[in-house]
Structure 1
């Protein structure tokens, strides 16, 4: 079985690579810069240079592939949805040309709404395109990544967690390595067929106020949550030079999740994963604090 993995140096992809290698396979890893792979990984994988927005590049890189772990890559295009369209076209061309039988797609909670969710609308576009191919596909509807906290690390270490979300509304929070475990299990199993949606909700739903309390305990300092408005976020992003479409993709994603969204897949045994926020924070955030 030939397994291909996109974004193999990403927050989730690097764990997928390790798990697939530990399962006894030699995966094909697809990335723009193969030199970015850690040196201790290179001897266990076949690294292929690929531009996921170039259909010909993806088709060539996935020849002979049986199962594919796909993540739509971040882009710097003025309109993020144009990047999602190009990535989706590349994926569809590769599946059709190379007869790829199984795809595990890293999507997000909110994609089920199909529109009105900002950046997540691009993931919905990919989901829809995969569904139309009639292959075996699992969409991973992931919760809020723990690693998103790293974008606000300096502020957190200074005692403030900032968000435009409702600070008291619980959301599913998940460790990237837990997403990788579910992705790898789906990728390597041959016992499922057709279209599946697999939510990955983490161990528990947490509000931002509760997250701040957990971080404060782990870091042994006071961490308070500060709620800002969509207009505040919009002004900050515009000041950083983002295009109107890039700003809207971020602001509308937050608003879509915040304003009445309920995940299609409820929390149950199949959607709950084990890694707690406190354990992850001790490893990732406290190390940064102590450095």
Structure 2
């Protein structure tokens, strides 16, 4: 117990923005604007899918889960960053750090699996159109969505449990902007071989498995699209996959940089930029990608805005007659 009391820390200090001693007020406004766009964008996608019956299909059902995940990922990290911008010292308590890491890894692991499920949905729609309603019925979609959340949760439980046994020998400065497993292992003075082994093994299943599944799915999807005789049919099939492919490339590209940095590590400035992209920018981009490239979503948004405009106009007209 004496050793544990000497090695355990009470709080951690983030050094991610230490290279920017001034201008935190401007950074606060920038991150606040990004967070507001993220919240509004993802809530818009989720609400439109719930309100428009034409969007009640497997593809949009999974898209609503993706919007929830992006909202959760951003909410786990950005509010704490905003609070720290207003403080002189950018700190987080030990328990809050573990909690932040747990939820972040849970949501990001879930998103990796969900992107694979969305790829399977596109495979079923393009390669098995006659059996699509059977392959992707409501029960199957519910089970797949629930399984992705369990997938991320179990991975996060394992890593958080192992991280809770790490000692830090009084070192409490994290070269990062939020609590995550790689920087915690780097600053720990205890043996991290078990944590590193668990990280490598689970990354093969939690991230590598879904990514390979996506690659194979799109191999068969591309083969089916090339067999379509008309160019119009090919363009239509490609358009249904374009947004998903864009999200996959951005998500896995930044995830690879964030969790598989070289042994020498990135510079603090580069690491801060990558972390900001991974957990702050990407959750904002996903709803923009799907809304700007998706005709059904744009049509649903236009209908909702039109209906709200009519309600607003009629209410004002009624008030005018009353007066």
Q: TM (normalized to structure 1)? A: 0.23
Greater relative contact order, per chain length (Cα 8 Å cut-off, separation 6+)? 2
Per residue, is there more strand in 1 or in 2?
Answer: 1
When normalised by structure 2's length, the TM-score is: 0.21
Q: Which one has a bigger Cα radius of gyration?
A: 2
